[in-house]
Amino acid sequence: MAELQQTLTLGELSDALGGECIGDAGFVIRGVKPLAVAGADDLSFVTNPKYVAAAKTTQAGALLIAKDSGLESAGLNAGLIVVDDPHLALARVLELGFPESNRETGVHPTAIVGKGCTMGADTSVGPYCVVGDDVVLGDRVRLGARVNVGDGCVLGADSAIYPGVVLYDRVVMGQRCVVHSGAVIGSDGFGYASATGLPTKIRQVGRVVLGDDVEVGANSAIDRAMLEETVIGSGTKIDNLVQVGHNVVVGEGCLLCGQAGIAGSAVLGDRVVLAGQAGVSGHLEVGSGVQVAAKSAVLQTTTPGSIVAGIPARPIRDWQRQDVATKRLPELMRRVRQLERAQEVKDVDSDQDADSG
């Protein structure tokens, strides 16, 4: 499974990564595997200091390590590539060793393409796709099988839409976007008026706009705006099963982890992180650089750069102190009961002394 599709030497890989090669530059790397299972022909990696001990016993023939790991002088029986950031370098290794497979270009005979569509060079429209009217597909855009692209959509160059994705009308996405299977972009926002007692639907006539290099995970949903735009900033990565409500604005470089949810008209700054199952209430702002812990609920505007946790979300140190106090409650209750019983004994003794006097 982890055998390289394109073998590389230690020296070639080190040069490509801008790293320092220690050992036999001509050593041929045939696979990439974790420390515990790597063999003599494999490259492994140390992306976290807690794996340094495991690196000293691995059977890997080569290691990707950080400059400050101390492993260069550990006497390892492996070639080394020393870089500033092994995690980032590993991403590059996987790009080089497992290149995207070449896909046939053109429109599959079973696909349906509407009127007035514009297709760039080397586009690929897969089996049973439905492409609406006036759609623009940039150069090298790939539509997997059974993708539905609504009227007036614009897809930037080098974007990849995996099988089963639905893009409603007028979705706009930048270059190099990736949308995984089952995602729905541009469906109706959850907007209703209830003055009559029963919910009355408010038409959602806006659109969704994705910047460059946005990735949307499987079975996630991004609702179109009521009037204007739901916006996902460039470089933002959205995990599986994430809900983004209508009129939401998400900044650049954000990470929205699995099952996170953002209610309508919320605004997230740049580089915000929502951990798994975190939620953001509607019509509030989450400042740039905020990190929200898993299962937390942001119910008020948050200060840029803060780390928050809990329901409602609050500064993580406050949440930690409250958590510690909560764990102590059974012991505190036991002590209170002991004090109450001791006080009851004292009261009885006092009453008896008063009677005898």
Contacts of 243 (CB under 8 A, 6+ apart): 220, 221, 260, 261, 262
In this prediction, residue 6 carries a pLDDT of 79
pTM of the model: 0.86
Strand-pairing partners, residue 20, are 82
Place of tokens 């974790």: 34
Instruction: Choose among 206, 277, 208: nearest CA to 236.
Output: 208
Instruction: Choose among 256, 307, 305: nearest CA to 279.
Output: 256
- Buried-exposed string 16-47: b where 16+ CB fall within 10 A, e elsewhere: ebebebbbeeebebbbbbebeebeebbbbbbe
pLDDT band, very low/low/confident/very high, at 352 (cuts 50, 70, 90): low
| Mean pLDDT score, 192-203 | 87
| Mean pLDDT score, 80-95 | 93
Higher pLDDT, 340 or 269: 269
| Mean pLDDT score, 215-220 | 98
pLDDT in tens, 290-307: 999 999 999 999 999 999
Angstrom distance (rounded) from CA 355 to CA 357:
5
Provide the pairing of β-strand 172-173 with 207-210: parallel
pLDDT in tens, 34-60: 999 999 999 999 988 888 888 889 999
Give Cα 8 to chain centroid, integer Å: 30
Question: pLDDT averaged over the chain?
Answer: 92
In this prediction, residue 217 carries a pLDDT of 98
pLDDT in tens, 144-189: 999 999 999 999 999 999 999 999 999 999 999 999 999 999 999 9
Catalytic residue numbers?
246
Which domains, ranges and CATH numbers included, belong to the chain? 3-97 (3.40.1390.10), 165-312 (2.160.10.10)
